[in-house]
């Protein structure tokens, strides 16, 4: 039919005569319109300038912002007629894209499919970002080591176990509500092994006498267990207690007594589930090295990470581990773990970090329930 129209064009030099013949001879199933350069475009009956734009090129369709028909500006839902000359006005903005309401009036399958594909891709991008943020928040709430567990290799393994093609598909599934963060975290923890997570949460506790008969080790951490001598004591990694914190002990399997802050959410859960495994502990010394984890919340920018690490180094801090994640709102959440000999030195360190340009807040991560939600929310 296009070839026939081309033949008609060459055989009928008078444009008015050609248009008259065109309107008489073409059926109602299609309309034939012209580009500004005279090229003929076939469209379904009742097609609109948006259909025309997508017929020219997908990118033209996506960037359409207006149209002229026969030299006049018209609404995008205008029905085109045979012989119309259509000019599409496009946006040069990087954020240009179709409108959902176009789906209510476009007629061509190509236009409809391309619009749906665009929104499907956009939704997928949003779902990936939402899923990544949800997973990070859930892990932070459980005080899991994000930098250790949330690696590319680990995510590839979880994607394979859950039958997803790649980590982005896992994030998208979380964002769309197809799978829970709890499910993904369970796989991450399982794949990492007990060395990567809090053993006291994952392992079954043993009676006190079994702990006493286990490998004996006098605590060098400055903590004593009431009523028990020479028991192996460790400071819980989920809340990292330091001298001055109120602390509670929990009997674990093959790990002695794990010492938590009294307000640690993990400890609160363990006390509720297995109160018989809870023991009294107390600080006996403030000497030694203590693990501390801090969280820095800042507006993401160039050199932010180097500025923070420089301040930590200036205060004599030896960083043992760190992680950083940036959300769609361009807020960077960084965590650093390091050892300190003097817990009182921490306040001076936090004050120095807080003065860094762009930093909203910085605080010690303790595992307490009220520290699970990032404090930058107060900025919103």
Phi first, then psi: give them for residue 132, nearest 5 degrees: -65, -45
- Of 114-123, 358-367, 369-378, the range with the lowest mean pLDDT is 369-378
- pLDDT value of position 319: 81
Is residue 89 very low, low, confident or very high in pLDDT (cuts 50, 70, 90)? very high
| CATH number corresponding to 291-379 | 3.30.70.260
Q: Strand runs (DSSP E) across 226-379, as ranges?
A: 233-235, 247-251, 257-261, 278-279, 281-283, 290-299, 318-326, 331-340, 359-364
Phi first, then psi: give them for residue 231, nearest 5 degrees: -100, 145
Can you say how many angstroms the Cα of residue 369 is from the centroid of all Cα atoms in its chain? 22
pLDDT, one tens digit per residue, over 125-136 is 778 888 888 888
**Alpha helical stretches, state H, 142-238:** 146-149, 152-161, 167-175, 181-192, 199-202, 208-213
The residue with greater pLDDT, 32 or 285, is 32
Average pLDDT for 70-98: 89
- Please check whether residue 31 is in contact with residue 44, taking contact to mean a CB–CB distance below 8 angstroms: yes
Q: Indicate the Cα dihedral angle 281, 286, 289, 291, nearest 10°.
A: 50
Q: Is 369 in a helix, a strand, or coil?
A: helix
Is residue 10 very low, low, confident or very high in pLDDT (cuts 50, 70, 90)? low
Q: Sign (positive/negative) of CA torsion 338, 342, 346, 348?
A: negative
User: Measured at the alpha carbon of residue 278, what is the angle toward residues 293 and 229, in degrees to the nearest 5?
Assistant: 90
- pLDDT value of position 241: 86
Does the structure show a pLDDT above 50 at 11?
no
- pLDDT value of position 304: 87
pLDDT, one tens digit per residue, over 219-258 is 456 788 887 777 788 888 777 888 888 999 888 766 678 8
Average pLDDT for 104-125: 86
pLDDT, one tens digit per residue, over 171-185 is 888 887 778 888 888
Closest CA to 330 of 306, 285, 360, 350: 360
Q: Sign (positive/negative) of CA torsion 165, 167, 170, 176?
A: negative
User: Measured at the alpha carbon of residue 175, what is the angle toward residues 174 and 177, in degrees to the nearest 5?
Assistant: 65
Average pLDDT, the chain: 78
- pLDDT value of position 355: 92
Contacts of 187 (CB under 8 A, 6+ apart): 157, 158, 161, 162
Domain boundaries, the chain: 2-107, 122-196, 203-283, 291-379
pTM: 0.40
- pLDDT value of position 136: 85
> Residue 334 CB: number of other CB atoms within 10 A?
23
Task: Output the CA–CA distances (angstroms, integers) from residue 220 to 66, 94, 241, 286, in the order listed.
Answer: 75, 60, 14, 11
Phi first, then psi: give them for residue 324, nearest 5 degrees: -145, 140
Does the structure show a pLDDT above 60 at 6?
no
Closest CA to 259 of 227, 294, 232: 232
Q: What is the DSSP string of 269-313?
A: HHHHH-GGGEE-EEE----S-EEEEEEEEEE--TTHHHHHHHHHH
d(CA 102, CA 49): 11
Percent with pLDDT over 90 in the chain: 19
Topology of the domain comprising 2-107: Ubiquitin-like (UB roll) (3.10.20)
Token pair 């502990």: residue: 281
- pLDDT value of position 19: 59
Task: Give the max Cα distance, the chain.
Answer: 109
pLDDT, one tens digit per residue, over 267-279 is 887 888 888 888 8
User: Measured at the alpha carbon of residue 145, what is the angle toward residues 334 and 265, in degrees to the nearest 5?
Assistant: 100
């Amino acid at each position: 039919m296009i070839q026939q129209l081309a033949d008609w064009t060459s055989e009928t030099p008078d444009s008015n005569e050609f248009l008259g013949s065109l309107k008489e001879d073409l059926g109602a199933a299609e309309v034939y319109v012209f580009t500004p350069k005279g090229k003929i475009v076939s469209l379904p009956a009742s097609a609109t300038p948006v259909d025309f734009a997508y017929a020219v090129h997908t990118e033209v369709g996506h960037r359409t912002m207006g149209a002229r028909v026969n030299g006049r500006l018209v609404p995008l839902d205008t029905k085109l007629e045979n012989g119309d000359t259509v000019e599409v006005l496009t946006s040069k903005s990087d954020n240009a894209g179709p409108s959902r309401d176009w789906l209510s009036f476009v007629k061509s399958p190509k236009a409809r499919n391309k619009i749906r594909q665009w929104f499907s891709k956009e939704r997928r991008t949003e779902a990936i970002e939402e899923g990544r943020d949800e997973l990070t928040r859930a892990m932070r709430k459980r005080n899991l080591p994000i930098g250790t567990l949330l690696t590319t290799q680990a995510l590839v393994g979880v994607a394979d176990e859950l039958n997803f093609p790649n980590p982005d598909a896992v994030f998208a599934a979380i964002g769309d509500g197809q799978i829970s963060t709890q499910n993904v975290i369970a796989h991450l923890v399982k794949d990492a092994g007990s060395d990567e997570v809090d053993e006291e949460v994952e392992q079954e506790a043993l009676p006190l006498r079994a702990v006493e008969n286990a490998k004996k080790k006098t605590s060098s951490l400055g903590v004593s267990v009431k009523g028990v001598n020479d028991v192996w004591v460790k400071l819980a990694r989920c809340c990292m207690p330091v001298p001055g914190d109120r602390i509670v002990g929990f009997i674990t399997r093959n790990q002695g007594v794990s010492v938590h802050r009294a307000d640690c959410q993990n400890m609160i859960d363990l006390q509720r589930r297995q109160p018989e495994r809870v023991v009294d502990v107390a600080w006996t010394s403030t000497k030694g090295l203590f693990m501390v984890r801090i969280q820095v919340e800042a507006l993401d920018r160039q050199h932010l990470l180097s500025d923070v690490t420089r301040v930590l180094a200036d205060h004599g801090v030896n960083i043992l581990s760190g992680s950083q994640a940036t959300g769609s709102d361009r807020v960077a959440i960084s965590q650093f773990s390091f050892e300190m000999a003097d817990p009182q030195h921490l306040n001076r360190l936090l004050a120095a970090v807080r003065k860094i340009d762009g930093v909203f807040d910085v605080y010690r991560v303790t595992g307490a329930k009220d520290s699970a939600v990032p404090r930058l929310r107060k900025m919103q």
